[in-house]
Amino acid sequence: MVRASLLLVGGVVGVLLSATPVLADATYHHMHQMASSNEEGVRWYTTHLDCKPWLDRKDGCLMNSTIFIFTPRASKGSSAGTGVDHIAFSYPDAAAKMKVLEAAGVKMVTPFRRDATPFAAGVVEDPWGTRIEILQDARYPGFHHIHLASADPDAALKWYQNAFGGERKNVTGRVPGLLYGSLWLLAARHEGPALAPTDGRSIDHLSWEAADLDAEAAAMKKRGVIFNIEEPHALVNQLGQRQKTSVLTGPDGVRIDLVQPKA
């Protein structure tokens, strides 16, 4: 139950008093990324990161319960320099995984370090500019976290929790974040040039799922969340199924979908 929250909405900080509960069954739904083609995106992530097929769709794949969807469009640039700096995958032997990726010709950004904080880790980049941390955390295998860059990490995490719920915890007891099932949302302070919007970058947007989008959007509005791009509306997906979607902007220019997969 949110009684008093300091929120960052569209760059405006304000205090809201609300008795509206946040999304009770908060579920992270998908990553939406750029690739040269749907098939190439799926091929790269299934070959190199061990993602699995997603139904009979050719535009996406799965890791744990998260869908990775690829849009065949040239990106405006890397995930680095936006509000979604990188994503991370956890493997039983991250050092060995980095060696396999290097041997396969995957672009190395940061070599594997056993003394990296907070995990033994290295960083690679997919062919379209998405930064990917390869780490070792046996508690959360597979798709491990989304790492935000923010001018105010604490305010950003408060905004996400107010909007989509999640359990506020510190990964490894030190790094603050929100936990959605087995997926972490972490935030680190950004210093330097202004962050670019994620729209059109290699990671275009993040997405959460709502069982009843209209009801959830109404509750979110009472908590001060603004649907500044698209209000909830129905559409028909590539499988001919009706669903609902909405689009908004979060802190630091992060584009976000809230979807109801079946309408």
Q: Of 7 and 205, which is predicted with more confidence?
A: 205
55-75 pLDDT, tens digit per residue, is: 888 899 999 999 999 999 999
Q: Cα 161 to chain center, whole Å?
A: 14
pLDDT at 15 over 50: no
How much is the CA Rg of the chain, to the nearest whole Å?
A: 18
What's the rounded mean pLDDT across residues 189-217? 96
pLDDT at 18 over 80: no
Q: Take residue 90 and report the two structure tokens written for it.
A: 């956890």
What's the rounded mean pLDDT across residues 244-255? 98
pLDDT at 1 over 80: no
Phi/psi of residue 251, nearest 5 degrees: -60, 150
115-158 pLDDT, tens digit per residue, is: 888 889 999 999 999 999 999 999 999 999 999 999 999 999 99
Give residue 21's pLDDT: 63
DSSP-assigned letters across all residues of 165-190: --EEEEETTTEEEEEETTEEEEEEE-
Q: Residue 193 — very low, low, confident or very high, per pLDDT cuts 50/70/90?
A: very high
Q: Residue 263 — very low, low, confident or very high, per pLDDT cuts 50/70/90?
A: confident
pTM value is 0.90
pLDDT averaged over the chain? 90
Least confident of 91-100, 101-110, 141-150, 166-175: 166-175
pLDDT at 6 over 50: no
Give residue 57's pLDDT: 87
- Domain annotation for the chain: domains and CATH numbers: 5-260 (3.10.180.10)
Other beta carbons less than 10 A from residue 96's beta carbon: 12
What's the rounded mean pLDDT across residues 207-230? 96
Q: Residue 20 — very low, low, confident or very high, per pLDDT cuts 50/70/90?
A: low
What's the rounded mean pLDDT across residues 168-174? 87
What's the rounded mean pLDDT across residues 212-238? 94
Maximum average pLDDT range among 3-12, 167-176, 213-222: 213-222
The edge-to-edge listing of strands for the beta sheet with 121-125 is 107-113, 121-125, 131-135, 84-90, 142-150, 183-189, 175-180, 167-171
Least confident of 5-19, 125-139, 180-194: 5-19
Q: Take residue 59 and report the two structure tokens written for it.
A: 């535009």
Residue positions counted in the chain:
263
74's torsion region: left (phi>0), alpha (psi -120 to 50) or beta?
beta
Q: Residue 241 — very low, low, confident or very high, per pLDDT cuts 50/70/90?
A: confident
